[in-house]
């Protein structure tokens, strides 16, 4: 067995039964791994209509066949489950060192069901798994949990755990690994908390076997030489200033930097919260995930009174959500709020966007000072930080914020002020100035995500080729192709940053040539390019079927009314709205779905989905 380990571990927390099983190799070939394997098992074993926080829901933690090899950025794993924030599917991805270590235990995936009677953690030492009591860890923050677990297992082990937010089922709680990395979106941490599962600790020893080492070395040498030469000519600003240093100026200059709950597309305080300022004032060192030549991670330290701390972050999304969206131009406060999110286990995007929603509700008089336990004013940095802590522990007004933007806005009679798609908060790219990105938000299987395809690459950054960000015609085809190919990146175990630039054919119609080369060298499975492209489409359609069975359809492929009816009033995208309805029609046609957004029988048959 090469690439894949050929084994999965089933964990029933209710009965405390642990069971090793062979990986279904036909499924592995057709669904690759990671995200693909996740949906394969969810579709077979989970009722899509189940309560996401009930014992019936299953969490799949899956690596890809490349995870843990020395292929560049082969550091990723995926958490798949039914999400409590959206009621839809989640696929929440993370890097760091934990995924590589999980792979080295000899398991491709963990399938976790049920609910433990008491807090518990899973310890996998090489190939041997056991459940241990976690009563002494309940209530502990992520760093505290991390340190204690290393002390009682193995100092070289790697930890993925929840903080108090997951325990208290904050609907956008994250699963944190390696202290600072987050499987952040859609509340995977709340699902883990609902199962009384505090942590998963892994220690592996067996390297991932490679089918053809000479071939792997040849591909590796070629890809890395090309990357290093390109980096010599124009080193990636991602390495120098992180995602926050690349995307903040780019979105700001393009007028798509969501500000003030998407009332604006530019932020006057953008320079103060950009990565360049972070580098100058707070950066201690850069941080790389396993086998990553980019190192976009930032280790920072803040000494400003009231905001002291150190840790990883912020990334671009955090700066946008806790900064521009809340009109906070204080980078020390944003970074502090980021540390709290990491310590308590919260998704920074949903957190910031939800506070921003509360600020607009307060500004318009829909929430009173009494209801919010005090004023919630635009730009109040100290209050923003306080609200993050309150949310993490579900205290005071934080208990309402813990339900996310949609439920908060609905509670006060104004759901239209929630900047969400499928109840998942939109990331930091305004769909009114990036048409394809908006269509992508409305159609990914998890709700508004910039990671299930990132159309900002062609619409804003200009690679692999620039396209007009304001044109909507013809975008549906691109979104379909990109979503399919991004699902392959996620399923192989790679990072979208490096892969999209270095492992895909640099044409607008992305083809996964580089992923194909790595997969074949590592697994020996001899995929053809067509087979791989088809696998990407299969994964997307299998995910869509989960949604359809959960009750979703075209009625849920939406953007907030603000995106389609309220033009931006300033900046380069002034006067623009999203043309989502027109693009959706094209999109369903491109996908071979009905006008209601349902995959047809013939499409499912073509892809071999039962």
Partner 1 sequence: MTGRSMMVNVQLLGYLAKYSPTQKETFRLELEPEATIGGLLEKIDLPPDLEKMVLVNGHRSNEATRLADGDEVFIFSPAAGG
Contacts to partner 1 by CB under 8 A: 230-231, 233-238, 240-241, 245-246, 249-250, 253-255, 276, 294, 457, 461-463, 466, 495-502, 571-573
Q: Between residues 457 and 552, which has the closer beta carbon with respect to partner 1?
A: 457
In the complex, the smallest distance separating the C-beta of residue 444 from partner 1, rounded to whole angstroms, is 19
Alpha-carbon distance 194 to 476, whole Å?
38
- As given in the structure block, the two tokens for residue 610 are 């039962």
Alpha-carbon distance 444 to 426, whole Å?
12
In the complex, the smallest distance separating the C-beta of residue 573 from partner 1, rounded to whole angstroms, is 8
Alpha-carbon distance 167 to 392, whole Å?
10
In the complex, the smallest distance separating the C-beta of residue 494 from partner 1, rounded to whole angstroms, is 11
In the complex, the smallest distance separating the C-beta of residue 594 from partner 1, rounded to whole angstroms, is 35
Q: Report CA-CA distances (Å) from 328 to 96, 272, 304, 342.
A: 29, 10, 16, 19
- 59-63 and 77-82 strand pairing: antiparallel
Using left for φ > 0, alpha for ψ between -120 and 50, and beta otherwise, residue 68 falls in left
In the complex, the smallest distance separating the C-beta of residue 472 from partner 1, rounded to whole angstroms, is 17
Q: Between residues 293 and 474, which has the closer beta carbon with respect to partner 1?
A: 293
- 89-94 and 120-125 strand pairing: unpaired
Alpha-carbon distance 178 to 150, whole Å?
11
Q: Between residues 458 and 545, which has the closer beta carbon with respect to partner 1?
A: 458
Q: Between residues 70 and 240, which has the closer beta carbon with respect to partner 1?
A: 240
**DSSP codes joined into one string, 449-496:** -SSS--THIIIII--SS---TT--TTHHHHHHHHHHHHHHHHHHT--H
- What φ, ψ does residue 142 adopt, rounded to 5°? -60, -50
In the complex, the smallest distance separating the C-beta of residue 439 from partner 1, rounded to whole angstroms, is 20
Alpha-carbon distance 76 to 102, whole Å?
10
- 175-177 and 158-161 strand pairing: antiparallel
Q: Find all residues with CB under 8 Å of 534, minimum gap 6, and list them.
A: 607
Alpha-carbon distance 552 to 110, whole Å?
27
Cis peptide bond prior to 566, omega within 30° of 0: no
For residue 505, the Cα-to-chain-centroid distance in whole angstroms is 24
Q: Between residues 362 and 498, which has the closer beta carbon with respect to partner 1?
A: 498
Question: How many of the other CB atoms lie within 10 Å of CB of 572?
Answer: 16
DSSP 8-class letter at 599: B
In the complex, the smallest distance separating the C-beta of residue 484 from partner 1, rounded to whole angstroms, is 19
Q: Between residues 387 and 479, which has the closer beta carbon with respect to partner 1?
A: 479
In the complex, the smallest distance separating the C-beta of residue 276 from partner 1, rounded to whole angstroms, is 6
In the complex, the smallest distance separating the C-beta of residue 94 from partner 1, rounded to whole angstroms, is 17
Q: Between residues 472 and 552, which has the closer beta carbon with respect to partner 1?
A: 472
In the complex, the smallest distance separating the C-beta of residue 315 from partner 1, rounded to whole angstroms, is 14
Burial pattern 232-256, b for ≥16 Cβ within 10 A else e, equals: eeeebbbbbbbbbbbbbbbbbebbb
Q: Between residues 267 and 457, which has the closer beta carbon with respect to partner 1?
A: 457
The count of C-alpha atoms lying within 13 angstroms of the C-alpha of 457, restricted to the half-sphere facing its C-beta, is 27
In the complex, the smallest distance separating the C-beta of residue 302 from partner 1, rounded to whole angstroms, is 23
In the complex, the smallest distance separating the C-beta of residue 233 from partner 1, rounded to whole angstroms, is 6
Q: Between residues 235 and 608, which has the closer beta carbon with respect to partner 1?
A: 235
Q: Is 44 helix (H, G, I), strand (E, B) or coil?
A: helix
């Amino acid at each position: 067995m090469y690439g894949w380990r050929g084994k999965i571990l089933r964990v029933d927390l209710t009965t405390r039964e642990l069971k090793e099983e062979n990986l279904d190799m036909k499924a592995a070939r057709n669904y690759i791994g990671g995200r693909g394997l996740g949906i394969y098992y969810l579709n077979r074993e989970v009722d899509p209509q189940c309560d996401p926080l009930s014992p019936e829901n299953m969490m799949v933690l899956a690596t890809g066949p490349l995870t843990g090899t020395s292929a560049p950025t082969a550091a990723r794993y995926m958490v798949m489950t039914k999400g409590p924030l959206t009621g839809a599917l989640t696929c929440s991805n993370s890097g760091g060192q934990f995924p590589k270590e999980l792979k080295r235990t000899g398991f491709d995936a963990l399938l976790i069901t049920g609910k433990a009677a008491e807090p518990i953690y899973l310890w996998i030492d090489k190939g041997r798994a056991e459940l241990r009591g976690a009563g002494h860890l309940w209530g502990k923050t992520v760093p505290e949990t991390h340190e204690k677990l290393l002390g009682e297992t193995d100092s070289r082990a790697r930890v993925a755990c929840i903080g108090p937010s997951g325990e208290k089922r904050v609907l956008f709680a994250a699963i944190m690994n390696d202290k600072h990395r987050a499987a952040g979106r859609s509340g995977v941490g709340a699902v883990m908390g609902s199962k009384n599962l505090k942590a998963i600790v892994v220690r592996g020893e067996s390297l991932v076997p490679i089918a053809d080492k000479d071939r792997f070395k040849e591909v590796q040498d070629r890809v890395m030489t090309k990357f290093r030469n390109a980096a010599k000519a124009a080193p990636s600003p991602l390495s120098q200033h992180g995602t926050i240093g690349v995307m903040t100026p780019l979105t700001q200059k393009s007028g798509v930097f969501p500000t003030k709950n998407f009332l604006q597309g530019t932020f006057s305080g953008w320079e103060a919260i950009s990565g360049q300022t972070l580098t100058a004032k707070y950066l201690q060192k850069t941080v790389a995930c396993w086998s990553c030549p980019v190192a976009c991670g930032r280790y920072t330290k803040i000494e400003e009174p009231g905001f002291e701390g150190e840790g990883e972050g912020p990334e671009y999304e955090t700066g946008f959500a806790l900064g521009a969206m809340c009109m906070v131009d204080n980078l020390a406060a944003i970074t502090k709020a980021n540390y709290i999110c990491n310590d308590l286990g919260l998704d920074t995007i949903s957190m910031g966007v939800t506070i921003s929603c509360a600020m607009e509700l307060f500004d318009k008089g829909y929430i009173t000072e009494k209801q919010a336990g005090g004023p919630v004013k635009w730009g109040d940095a100290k209050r923003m930080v306080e609200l993050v802590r309150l949310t993490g522990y579900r205290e005071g007004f934080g208990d309402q914020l813990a339900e996310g933007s949609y439920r908060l806005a609905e509670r006060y009679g104004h759901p239209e002020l929630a900047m969400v798609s499928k109840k998942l908060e939109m990331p930091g790219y305004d769909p009114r100035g990036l048409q394809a990105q908006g269509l992508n938000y409305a159609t990914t299987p998890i709700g508004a995500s910039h990671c299930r395809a990132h159309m900002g690459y062609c619409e804003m950054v200009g690679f692999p080729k620039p396209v007009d960000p304001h044109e909507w015609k013809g975008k549906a085809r691109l979104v379909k192709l990109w979503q399919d190919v991004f699902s392959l990146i996620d399923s192989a175990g790679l990072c979208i940053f490096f892969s999209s630039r270095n492992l895909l054919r640099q044409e607008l119609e992305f083809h996964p040539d580089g992923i194909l080369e790595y997969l074949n060298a590592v697994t020996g499975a001899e995929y053809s390019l067509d087979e791989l492209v088809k696998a990407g489409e299969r994964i997307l359609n299998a995910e869509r079927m989960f949604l359809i069975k959960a009750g979703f359809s075209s009625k849920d492929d939406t953007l907030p009314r603000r995106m389609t009816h309220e033009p931006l009033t300033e900046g380069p995208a002034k006067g623009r709205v999203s043309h989502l309805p027109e693009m959706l029609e094209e999109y369903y046609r491109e996908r071979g779905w009905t006008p209601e957004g349902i995959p047809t029988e013939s499409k499912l048959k073509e892809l071999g989905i039962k």
